[in-house]
Amino acid sequence: MKQLLLVFLGGGAGSALRFLISKTLNNTFQNFFLGTFLANIIGCLLIGIIVGLSVKNNLITTNHSLLLITGFCGGFTTFSTFTLEQHSLLRTGDLLNFTIYTLTSLIIGIGAVAVGFWFSKL
């Protein structure tokens, strides 16, 4: 039960922060969902740092992992919203922004995880 509560608390905090970022930034650029993009990239960076520290120093317990990785990062990042936004771009025929949003999210997201691992090694 404790582990479920940790995931619940972390997920709630991550989801609330993502909501605030998306609400603030998603209308910044037309047809580019900056809030969702930044939440996903920051989440990738955080998960890289957290997992990297866990592997390097064994600092992260199972409970910390559930709170921070499964809970917070899981709630903060959002694949479902990302794909819904992609669908809306396809539905309106905006193939250029669909391609830019998809490729930048994937490439920068993978890079952010790698940078997070690199930071954890310092």
Q: Is 74 labelled as part of a ligand binding site?
A: yes
d(CA 69, CA 59): 13
Alpha carbon of residue 85 to chain centroid = 15
Q: Decide: helix, strand or coil at residue 32.
A: strand
Nearest residue to 97 (alpha-carbon basis) of 38, 37, 40, 43: 37
Return binding residues for Na(+): 74, 77
Return binding residues: 74, 77
